[in-house]
Amino acid sequence: MYLIFLINLFGTLLSITNRHFLKLIELSLKIFERFLIILDPIITL
């Protein structure tokens, strides 16, 4: 019951801030990609 409420709340928030949320995901993915490029030589060693 509580989980369903949380999912519904998240869905509502997502629909309201959909564009901003997508931009945020895009930005964090780009940052994560940069980190992977930096960390790649360290991981492979």
List all residues 6 or more positions away from 21 whose beta carbon is below 8 Å from its beta carbon: 14
**Which spans in the chain are helix H?**
2-16, 18-44
Q: For position 32, what pLDDT does the model report?
A: 92
Domain residue limits, the chain: 19-45
Give the model's confidence band at 41: pLDDT under 50 very low, under 70 low, under 90 confident, else very high: confident
Look at 1 and 30; give whichever has higher pLDDT: 30
- Tokens 């930005």, located at residue: 27
- Residue 26, CA distances (Å) to 3, 30, 35, 44 in order: 27, 6, 14, 26
Residue-wise pLDDT tens digits, 8-37: 988 887 777 777 878 888 999 999 999 888
